[in-house]
Chain A
Amino acid sequence: MEAHPRLLKALEVRLPDDHCKIMPFIVKHDNTVLCGVRDAVSGRGEGERMAGTPSCQDQAYQPPAGPVSVETAPEASAGSTAGGATRTHTASAFVRDYMAFLLPRDLNLLWTIGAMLVAVLALMLLSGLTLALTYTPDASLAFTSVETLERRVPFGWLLRSMHMTGATFFMAALYLHVFRGLCYGSYRAPRQGLWGVGTVLLMMVMITAFAGYVLPWGQMSYWGADVAGKAVGAIPLVGNALERVFLGGDAPGTATLHRMFVLHFTLAFSIVGMVILHVAVLHARGSTSPSGAVGQNRARMLPFHPYFTVKDGLGVVLLALLFTLVMCFWPGLVTEVENYRPANPLHTPADIEPEWYFLPFYGMLQAVPSKFFGLLVSGGAVAILLFVPWLDRGNSATFAAGRWGGLCWLPRVALTVLVCSFVLAGLAGRHHVQGVWLLVGRLATLGYYLYFLGFLPFYSRLAHKEARS
């Protein structure tokens, strides 16, 4: 903890407090870079300015230009000239601020996943809003309304397959995003808040995905809701009451569908709010980089636009390509055929299993003999992410210095074990934790928790010891 004030000081220096010096838009294509970005690009000192470029003061009070000025134009014409001008200035400064946001130049492919997530979220919102125009949350009508969508509504088939494929891609990208955070220690000071907001987002997305899966009211929707209701019912004391609140009755039905629809709809927009918060915190704290503190040196950073807009754009296009291939040529990867049978409370399917992204947690749920403790373990597997910044007490400064007493292979092994445990828990969940899969499921659960409760505290203590000596 001794290194903490030092780090904050470093942060203070790094934060882009003088935006007027940065004019990110001016990069000519004959590779001459005009003001602002030059120092970051060439790696030379900030004080050196290219001859003939406008000074800082000249840039700061430029008349507003671009699309932002359009929305404030009516106000300005109505007479409140001063207020309108200030507003316009604020808006354009805001955009300029965000476009000039400095990022480490060595960010790799894993850092474009954030942009991909935003793109998929936008797609999910738009397709979801359009689907909601036809969907009917009623136990006797829901399945038929979804079939109507797929068969008769113009381009309904396209909207629905985008929404279904989007769910899978969203969760996959989100898991990779979390993996990147764990891999590069993105949760360390001063970014605990960023990590916390992100983890809450992960939970919200998971709940939204579950609620959305219930809506088509196929066999898996019905029995998934049934299993989830029973899992909630396993909580001691309040379980039964909670189950009734969740299902709106003794068994899944119209009341459940209403609940899930409202939950799905409201959480989707809450997620948008949380994403805005997530990005705002990111802008306040700055981004991590693969090379740690070295990459966060201000001289080695580049503005968001045009360097990272083009990189993120490329990432989004590549994701869209993969998305199209899966959606159009391999739809079996993201659809569950059993859900094309209408819900039938009298006929339990042989294999009740959730979508692939919940399988690891489903495996953990089943690996524990007690229902309630199983719920605790599988819910805790997500909740423990919230506590990662406090389990790993290290920070970038201590980690940059240490030599790890010859244990530098350990984090790599630990992370591999974590990923393998996650995948194996999913496979165990898929096989209903029977026979040898019971053992696999338990070992995977153990391996998963060992990373957070064993490895992280141990390793950060080791780092502290080294930093002190």
Chain B
Amino acid sequence: MSFAVRSLAAGRRGSVRWLPQVVAGVLVCSFVLAGQGALTASAQAAPPSGAPAHAPAQNWSFNGPLGHFDLGAVQRGYAVFAGVCASCHSLTQVHFSDLGDMGLTPEQVTALAASWQVAAGRDAEGHLKHRKATPDDALPRPYADPDAARAANRGAVPPDLSRITQVYPGGPDRVYALLTGYAPVKPPTAEAGAAQPEAGFANPYAIGHRTAMPPPLRDHAVMYADGTQPIAQQEARDVTTFLAWISNPHADDKRRLGVGVGLYLCFLACLLVILKRRIWSHVAK
């Protein structure tokens, strides 16, 4: 390249000034295109039988680069989590104080923590003691260890939900689809009951279309303080919003910061362009 540049430069120097920019642009484009191609290629690969169905995209409040979490839905989702999910699933990385960011005052967080019981050592006979949780405690786990979880759930360990919408393939759309997509239970005829070979519950969004999780949500499973009707669809939507928020609690801060810093840097870049043109204005090419 350099040689060509120089041979050209001998003749018309101005004609190759665009070259590095074009090369850089082509490089960036090829990287992006290659990445996209790879993504589509992997997405279009023939799905093996039993692969989970594609979850329909939902209109989440936090979608897109300028989205933000609907904190009302997050709070309702916490109610669903505490009332339903927490009996089997843990949020090991979360402390009660973290929940203040969903729009609660410190007093509310303290009250919320006090509604949970955490282990507090053993008494003289060796029995476990419990106390009310404080904001500095981590959310207690439903099972002491994976073995206990396995024993209690017929061999399946309920996954930790701290980062679930990030690590679960399909993200929040699939979490929502899984929660609401259970196949209707067939009437228990004698024949079907006897021939039931597989454990678990039919769900097209689970791997192998079976999941060990029983249908968790039903209408009026929890009471909503804000008067929203707690039907199963609404509960699933709210708890998914909560899980998406707890997976990435500072996403809103980050986007807000991005807007401010981006605008500032645009302004600064404009000023620097003007300054640069001015300083270079008397330079003969």
Contacts and interface: CB of A to CB of B under 8 A. Distances in A.
> Which bucket holds chain A's interface residue count?
35 or more
Contact of B257 (A290, A318, A328, A463): A328
B3 A404 contact: yes
A409 interface: yes
Interface string B86-105: 00000001110110000000
Contact of A31 (B21, B162, B250, B282): B282
Given A33-B282, A317-B268, A427-B38, A184 B2 contact: yes
Contacts of B123: none
Interface string B163-184: 1001100000000000000000
B207 to A, nearest CB: 12
A307 B283 contact: yes
Contact of B2 (A176, A185, A318, A340): A185
Contacts of A290: 5, 9, 16-17, 19-20
Contact of A291 (B13, B34, B94, B257): B13
Contacts of B279: 27, 306-307, 310
B122 interface: no
Given A291-B9, A325-B258, A329-B65, A110 B265 contact: no
B262 A151 contact: no
A403 B255 CA distance: 54
Interface in A120-165: 144, 147-148, 150-152, 157-158, 161
A328 B163 contact: no
Contact of A328 (B31, B41, B255, B273): B255
Interface string B1-12: 111111101100
B167 A341 contact: yes
A327 B261 CA distance: 11
B43 interface: no
Given A321-B266, A328-B255, A338 B272 contact: no
Interface in A398-431: 399-400, 402-404, 408-409, 411-412, 415, 419-420, 423, 426-427, 430-431
Contacts of A459: 3
Which of B1, B27, B162, B283 has the most C-beta atoms of chain A within 10 angstroms of its own C-beta?
B1
A290 B108 CA distance: 64
Given A41-B282, A108-B17, A320 B265 contact: yes
A317 B258 contact: no
B64 to A, nearest CB: 9
Contact of B262 (A31, A321, A340, A402): A321
6 shortest A-B CB distances, which residue pairs?
A: A328-B258, A329-B65, A157-B250, A185-B2, A147-B93, A340-B163
Nearest to B169: A337
Contacts of A402: 3, 7
B160 to A, nearest CB: 8
Residue among B4, B97, B98, B285 facing the most chain A CB atoms (10 A cut-off) = B4
Nearest to B6: A292
A459 B27 CA distance: 24
Contact of A292 (B9, B37, B265): B9
Interface in A300-340: 302, 306-307, 310-311, 313-314, 317-318, 320-321, 324-325, 327-331, 337-338, 340
Contact of A324 (B7, B98, B249, B262): B262
A314 B258 contact: no
A310 B275 contact: yes
Contacts of A106: 13, 17, 285
Nearest to B280: A307
Given A109-B24, A110-B20, A325-B258, A42 B2 contact: no
Given A184-B1, A341-B163, A404-B3, A318 B27 contact: no
Contact of B34 (A150, A161, A423): A423
Interface string A100-112: 0000011011100
A110 B41 CA distance: 33
A109 B27 CA distance: 14
